[in-house]
């Protein structure tokens, strides 16, 4: 099965997406997500200008060799742009291999390890009572696991607090908008949120929370400790993870489970975190961590240390990533949970997909491949619109902080 052509499709049905489509001499096509929020066109150019010319004529079945060729062959290894571009090729090739076999992707990976994929949804509100109402609404929709984020008194804009039902889109402006931050205000507020949530919801649902890189290790330790009685499923991105060693301090102080890795690109970003058992869940996903081929390597390393997967699944990852991730999740032995932020109706229409939601679980479906396609005619009606993620500043003196 020879690769005859490959194209990059950039569209914005509600938000920007970059998609790679690979065509073959057997008439089969495969697609892969290449979206890197706020830096979309860099990946599009990397693919069009540097990768596609090297793909034409190659055997689409040689997934591993093509992966190594793009990774080692570039000389410049890793990084979000490179690894997202490689992921798009890898995802499209796995899609093609499964289609050529006439099988859903999970069968090609090794078959089902479970009946469905437990997902967590995003509930958020402007204050505690609003967030409680939203969490209860998610519980009513059948979710077994719910992430809760709330506005913080005294802060103008806070990560994770959305503008409409079921919809939170952080890339909210043509140039980066500015948020304000106060660790003290956040640390005073957050334990109260989870106290109230457990009071109203009980303990039959999993609750999760995303700190979104804003605390230092000792502050994160304090938060983790104060949340222990509320039995969170995880506390996510408690501190920035460039220095993997930082998680040791948090680990020494709290039994609240720790998740990290949505911005990781490779196994090297999480090697020490995993080998030293400093985390419980690894959040790397298909699109930003080199595709299924590389994610599988990360998951295998993690399984040796009882670290489970919890793939990133925000709206800036396209349905093509979600489809591939769900097949991966159904197979991977050390699965933990999958994030699921619903896409808008426009996005869903541009990316017809086989996956379905029922009672807090997602099912990838049995269509050959990963089960997600792109309607190119419809996509063309939504041209790219520049959009950035916000930046964050300390409220008291304007110091640039982690968003
Ligand atoms: O592009 C950034 C988003 O994907 C990120 O802010 C979402 O933290 C996130 C999450 O946990 O979904
Ligand atoms: Mg996150």
Indicate which residue of 46, 106, 120, 159 is catalytic.
Answer: 159
User: Residue 87: phi, psi to the nearest 5?
Assistant: -60, -40
Per-residue pLDDT at 169: 83
316 lines ligand 1 (CB under 6 A): yes
- Quote the pLDDT of residue 173: 93
For ligand 1, atom 1, name the residue with the nearest CA: 37
Catalytic option among 179, 189, 205, 212: 212
Query: Could you identify the atom of ligand 1 that is nearest to the CA of residue 171?
Result: 1
What does the pLDDT read at residue 319? 98
**Residues paired with 207 in a beta bridge:** 146
* pLDDT over 80 (residue 167): no
Q: What is the largest CA-CA distance in the chain?
A: 62
Mean per-residue pLDDT, 294-301? 98
C-alpha 310 to ligand 1 mean position (Å): 13
Distance of alpha carbon 378 from alpha carbon 202, whole angstroms = 44
Which domains occur in the chain, in start order?
3-102 (3.30.390.10), 109-369 (3.20.20.120)
Determine whether 388 is an active site residue: no
H/E stretch holding 187 reads helix 183-201
pLDDT of residue 325: 98
- Cα angle 319, 67, 81 (rounded to 5 degrees) comes to 60
For residue 95 and ligand 1, the question of a CB distance below 6 A is answered with no
Query: Which ligand neighbours the alpha carbon of 120 most closely?
Result: 1
Over the stretch 175-231, which tens digit does the pLDDT of each residue have? 999 999 999 999 999 999 999 999 999 999 999 999 999 999 999 999 999 999 999
Q: How confident is the model at residue 323 (pLDDT cuts 50, 70, 90)?
A: very high
Please give the pLDDT value at position 341: 95
Average per-residue pLDDT for the chain = 97
Question: Could you tell me the pLDDT band of residue 165, with boundaries at 50, 70 and 90?
Answer: low
The DSSP secondary structure of 122-172, one letter per residue, reads EEEESSHHHHHHHHHHHHHTT-SEEEEEE--TT-S--TT--SBTTB--S--
Tell me what the mean pLDDT of segment 301-325 comes to.
Answer: 98
Tally of CA atoms within 13 A in the half-sphere of 394 that contains its CB: 9
Does the pTM exceed 0.95?
A: yes
Question: Distance (Å, rounded) from C-alpha 13 to C-alpha 385?
Answer: 10
For the sheet containing 391-394, what is the strand order?
178-181, 391-394, 400-401
CB 294 within 8 A of CB 77: no
Per-residue DSSP letter, 372: B
Q: How far apart are CA 233 and CA 222, in angstroms?
A: 17
CA angle 148, 151, 184 (to 5 degrees): 100
Q: What angle do CA 351, 354, 356 make, to 5 degrees?
A: 105
Write down the pLDDT at residue 164.
63
Coil vs helix vs strand at 255: coil
Kindly indicate the confidence band of residue 166, based on its pLDDT and cuts at 50, 70 and 90: low
Q: Does the beta carbon of 15 sit less than 6 angstroms from any atom of ligand 1?
A: no
Identify the residue whose tokens are 């408690």. 238
Contact 21, 60 (CB under 8 A): no
Distance (Å) from CA 238 to ligand 2 centroid: 10
Q: How high is the pLDDT of residue 162?
A: 77
The stretch 271-293 carries a mean pLDDT of 98
**Is the CB–ligand 1 distance for residue 37 below 6 Å?**
yes
CB atoms within 10 A of CB 394: 13
Return the residue whose CA atom lies nearest to atom 10 of ligand 1. 314
Q: Which residue has the tokens 């303990």?
A: 203
Which residue's CA is minimally distant from atom 8 of ligand 1?
Answer: 212
Nearest to 86 by CA among 56, 51, 111: 51
Cα separation, 364 vs 105, in Å, equals 9
* DSSP result, 57-126: TSBTT-HHHHHHHHHHHTSS--SHHHHHHHHHHHHHHHHHHHHHHTSBHHHHHT--SSSSEEEEEEEEES
Query: Is the pLDDT confidence value at 232 over 80?
Result: yes
Copy the structure tokens of residue 46: 């990397």
> Over the stretch 40-65, which tens digit does the pLDDT of each residue have?
999 999 999 999 999 999 999 999 99
Q: For residue 382, what are the contacts with CB-CB under 8 A and spacing of at least 6?
A: 11, 12, 13, 14, 346, 350
């Amino acid at each position: 099965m020879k690769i005859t052509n490959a194209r990059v499709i950039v569209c914005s049905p509600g938000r920007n997406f970059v998609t790679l489509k690979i065509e073959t001499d057997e008439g089969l096509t495969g697609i892969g997500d290449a979206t890197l929020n706020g830096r979309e066109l860099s990946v599009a150019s990397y693919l069009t200008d540097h990768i596609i010319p090297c793909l034409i004529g190659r055997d689409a079945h040689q997934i591993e060799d093509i992966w190594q060729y793009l990774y080692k062959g570039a000389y410049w290894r890793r990084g979000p742009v490179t690894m997202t571009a490689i992921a798009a090729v890898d995802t499209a090739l796995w899609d093609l291999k499964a289609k050529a076999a006439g099988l859903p992707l999970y069968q090609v990976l090794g078959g089902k390890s479970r009946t469905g994929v437990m997902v967590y949804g995003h509930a958020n509100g402007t204050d505690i009572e609003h967030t409680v109402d939203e969490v209860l609404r998610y519980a009513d929709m059948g979710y077994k696991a719910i992430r809760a984020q709330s506005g913080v008194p005294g802060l103008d804009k806070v990560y994770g607090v959305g503008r409409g039902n079921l919809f939170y889109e952080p890339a909210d402006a043509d140039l980066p908008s500015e948020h304000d931050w106060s660790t003290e205000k956040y640390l005073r507020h957050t334990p109260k949120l989870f106290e109230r949530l457990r009071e109203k919801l009980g303990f039959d649902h999993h609750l999760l929370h995303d700190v979104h890189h804003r605390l230092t290790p000792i502050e994160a330790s304090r938060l983790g400790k104060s949340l222990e009685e509320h039995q969170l499923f995880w506390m996510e991105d408690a501190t920035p993870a460039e220095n993997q060693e930082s998680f040791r301090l948090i680990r020494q102080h709290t039994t609240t489970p720790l998740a990290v890795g949505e911005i990781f690109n490779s196994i090297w970003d999480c090697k020490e975190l995993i080998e030293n058992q400093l985390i419980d869940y690894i959040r790397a996903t298909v699109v930003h961590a080199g595709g299924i081929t590389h994610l599988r390597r990360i998951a295998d390393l993690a399984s040796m240390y009882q670290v489970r997967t919890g793939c990133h699944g925000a709206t800036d990852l396209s349905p093509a990533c979600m489809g591939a991730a769900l097949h991966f999740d159904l197979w991977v032995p050390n699965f933990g949970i999958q994030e699921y932020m619903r896409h808008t109706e426009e996005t869903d229409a541009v990316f017809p997909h086989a996956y379905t939601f029922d009672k807090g679980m997602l099912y990838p479906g049995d269509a050959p491949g990963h089960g997600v396609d792109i309607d190119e005619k419809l996509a063309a009606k939504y041209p790219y619109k520049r959009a950035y993620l916000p930046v964050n500043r300390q409220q008291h003196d304007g110091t640039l902080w982690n968003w």
